[in-house]
Amino acid sequence: MRIGLLQFNIAFGKKDRNFETVTHLIKNESADLWVFPELFNTGYLFTSQDEVENLSEDIPNGVTTEFLKKLSNENNCTIVAGLAEKDKNHFYNSAVVVKEGKVIGFYRKIHLFDNEKKWFAPGNLPFQVWDIGTAKIGVMICFDWIFPEATRTLALRGADIICHPSNLVLPFCQDAMVTRCIENRVFAITANRIGKEVRNGQELKFSGCSQITGCLGEIIHRAKAKEEQTFVCEIDPLLAKNKYITENNDIFNDRRIRMYE
Ligand code: ACM
């Protein structure tokens, strides 16, 4: 199975430009599964609720989901991509899963980071796993990484690959994902963005270094901090089914849940 990520500098509020960038970036590569960054269509640093409202969209009928359906159909692949979602009067930092022209699911970020709490409601849907034929995938978004429960829950529900759209600002995630993958024996695709946003006197720098982590914790690829990049590699997702540690230890069967309460 071929899995890939995109790392680029998202232009705030310029959806068409961001659509062009991702179309161009994946055009010469083929992958079964692509992960794009968090809020890949809008950018991150919102400055008012009106802005959030104007830029967020319905799933599955908004322009971004329509664009992703078409792109996944043309490229015969599954895409996991972050976007701001509008559901009646509620706004979520979400990610949609589209496979060959159809929406198969979406996730609403459960652990909101910093000022995201001003703009978005915390995710109200459970962690879910989708079977895309070549593997079972689960989705978490950026800051979810710091809660081991996120990856654990997805892994316990059968995810072989954690799709992890991100707009990282702290420097710890890439190293932490090594542990997340070792302790759950899963693959992870952390698709981060690069660049900085300066809006209304606020500034945020995004740390790049997008990463594909193998199910034994090996760093299959870590991108540079400041360069736009497309990366694709071949993996065997079946490796993630094997939770064996020794003849006498299995990561999941050895859990002593009663002792954790
Ligand atoms: C983050 O969760 N975007 C830092």
206 CA to centre of ligand 1 in angstroms: 9
Task: Give 148-207 pLDDT, tens digit per residue.
Answer: 999 999 999 999 999 999 999 998 999 999 999 999 999 999 999 999 999 999 999 999
- The answer to whether residue 109 is catalytic is yes
Tens of pLDDT, residues 8-59 = 999 999 999 999 999 999 999 999 999 999 999 999 999 999 999 999 999 9
Query: Positive or negative CA dihedral for 148, 149, 152, 154?
Result: negative
* 144 in contact with ligand 1, CB cutoff 6 A: no
- A 10 A CB-CB count for 253 gives 8
pTM score, whole prediction:
0.98
Which residue's alpha carbon is nearest to atom 4 within ligand 1?
168
Confidence of residue 104 (pLDDT cuts 50, 70, 90): very high
Query: pLDDT of 149-163, one tens digit each?
Result: 999 999 999 999 999
What gap in Å lies between CA 166 and CA 192, rounded to an integer?
5
Q: Is the CB of 113 under 6 A from ligand 1?
A: yes
Contact 145, 16 (CB under 8 A): no
Cα–Cα distance measured from residue 163 to residue 33, given in angstroms and rounded to the nearest whole number: 9
Task: Output the furthest CA–CA distance in the chain (Å, rounded).
Answer: 58
- Write out pLDDT tens, residues 131-143: 999 999 999 999 9
Output the CA 141–ligand 1 centroid distance in Å. 8
Known catalytic residue: 173?
A: no
Indicate the average pLDDT of the chain: 97
Give me the residue label for tokens 């059968």.
158
pLDDT digits (tens, 9 = 90+) for 63-86: 999 999 999 999 999 999 999 999
Out of 15, 69, 99, 109, the active site residue is 109
Q: Which domains does the chain have, with CATH numbers?
A: 2-260 (3.60.110.10)
To which H or E segment does residue 149 belong?
Answer: helix 148-156
The percentage of residues in the chain with a pLDDT greater than 90, rounded to a whole number, is: 99
Which pLDDT value is given to residue 174? 98
pLDDT value of residue 4: 98
- Name which residue sits closest to atom 2 of ligand 1, judged by CA: 143
